[in-house]
Structure 1
């Protein structure tokens, strides 16, 4: 009997309980604090990461899984005859994770162990997670690989993401902006609103002075970007539940929210966005 298994990486920020319920396999990226190395969402969880982040002067670095680490997961899944694999990963514009998965898939074919359908999510965090969760549910319902790949494309095309970064300092430390811009932004309380464009690149949509005005601006952007009023909402935050609640409330005041879930941004995403970040992941209906 044929079965379809879904693989993703830790930057999808899918809660463990959801992964276990749907049988989604996760390959972790790595977080490096000086000489210490942790596995994202395995040996370093979000709560501990944010405590460590604000108490450590040096910015942590991150690294992708190797092809061999992907290969280990693919080979284990392929041990069951008839298993087909769909592997969905962090945007290739942001990391080499996707390329590692592609190389592992090629190795699987060369060793005649089966085909791996590797998908570039062109996204990050729950922009990946929503694809993996939808794919796992569709597989459980008996859909074919081709049907699931089409489903992923359709969701990816319509999905909307808005990140509200609390401070520019982590973007500056990561080389995304200059030091002068970060200092000026902090003095003026500038809050960048970020998204991920169609090419899978993080893009600044706007910069607004003050969190309240920035959240109001997100509502304006949503009203322009989303044709209808009904949507499914995932709210994410980097150790800032208060801001997440505030953003949720504004969205619910202006849209018909059919469902809402909360997630915490994981260590890899949090290392680049910084603590205090809040985000809305939106699937229009």
Structure 2
């Protein structure tokens, strides 16, 4: 069976890694005023954060249009796919998941010749990437579409994310702060810790005054979460990724992979953001 896995660029998978994993990535669009870029295709992470810090205008992002998903699904079917599993960032953060579902349902019955499943991961960035890597390995061992879906849904239900922001300015300006509005007011000088709740919406955790305190508190929260099945860091810069990894050493002795935090999420969290994502054991 040739199952094809589709995701979006907020999973922060490089084109080279996506090819190696056999995963198709549909990009979101990033706008810097009049300049338009396909996320992780026309603009890499380093260039994005340079532009973000220099830009007087906050960039914005846009979900892929249903037509782009339709084009992707049709191509995969023509290439011989026997099933498609489409996994996307939290529907509380973007309309990407709904766009994917709309695209498939808009295909004619003659075009929808194979099974299709879509999953709202209720996650983003490395929290998606970790499970996509596992699914790729399972897919190469000829797992069924139902097995892949069941595994993914179980993993995502045990996946957590804690992000330390350098400032609340970007989430405030971008309007994506959601349930974390309680952090605003005169608290823009803090180094806030935010997370995603079970529905995949942004909610506040705490508001440490310094990055050192924020990393120490994040480390403590990780230690209180119980045995871990998987863990990874998503960094806007190497500096903050290394700092967080060092802070985690007292509570986690294993190696922690570090991945780059992409433009789609960085637009709304700003430079200096770093996140730890982890999967708790069953």
TM-score, normalised to structure 1's length? 0.91
Deviation, 1:179, is: 11
Which one of the candidate residues 226, 229, 232 is aligned to 2:230?
Answer: 232
Q: Report SS of the residue matched to 1:199.
A: coil
1:5 lines up with 2:4 in the alignment = yes
Q: Report SS of the residue matched to 1:78.
A: helix
Q: Report SS of the residue matched to 2:25.
A: strand
Which one of the candidate residues 185, 209, 212 is aligned to 2:187?
Answer: 185
For 1:1-285, list aligned pairs within 5 A: 2-81=1-80, 83-108=82-107, 110-114=109-113, 115-175=115-175, 176=177, 184-186=186-188, 189-225=189-225, 227-228=226-227, 230-239=228-237, 241-257=238-254, 259-285=255-281
Distance between the aligned counterparts of 1:84 and 1:180, measured in 2?
A: 43
Mark the runs of 5 or more structure 1 residues left unpaired by the alignment.
none
Q: Alignment RMSD, CA only?
A: 2.0
User: Contact 1:15–1:263 at 8 Å: present in 2 too?
Assistant: no
Distance between the aligned counterparts of 2:51 and 2:219, measured in 1?
A: 33
Pair 1:59–1:144, CA change in 2 (3 A): same
Distance between the aligned counterparts of 1:179 and 1:232, measured in 2?
A: 30
Distance between the aligned counterparts of 2:181 and 2:223, measured in 1?
A: 33
Give the number of aligned pairs. Answer: 278
User: Contact 2:232–2:259 at 8 Å: present in 1 too?
Assistant: yes
User: Contact 1:12–1:124 at 8 Å: present in 2 too?
Assistant: yes
Distance between the aligned counterparts of 1:180 and 1:7, measured in 2?
A: 35
Distance between the aligned counterparts of 1:266 and 1:202, measured in 2?
A: 17
Mark the runs of 5 or more structure 2 residues left unpaired by the alignment.
none
Distance between the aligned counterparts of 2:212 and 2:81, measured in 1?
A: 53
Deviation, 1:55, is: 0.8
Distance between the aligned counterparts of 1:108 and 1:256, measured in 2?
A: 49
Question: Cα deviations across residues 120-148 of structure 1 (Å, max 9, x unaligned)?
Answer: 11111122222322222111111111111
User: Contact 2:183–2:204 at 8 Å: present in 1 too?
Assistant: no
Distance between the aligned counterparts of 2:182 and 2:247, measured in 1?
A: 32
Deviation, 1:182, is: 5.6
Q: Report SS of the residue matched to 2:250.
A: helix
Distance between the aligned counterparts of 1:202 and 1:179, measured in 2?
A: 10
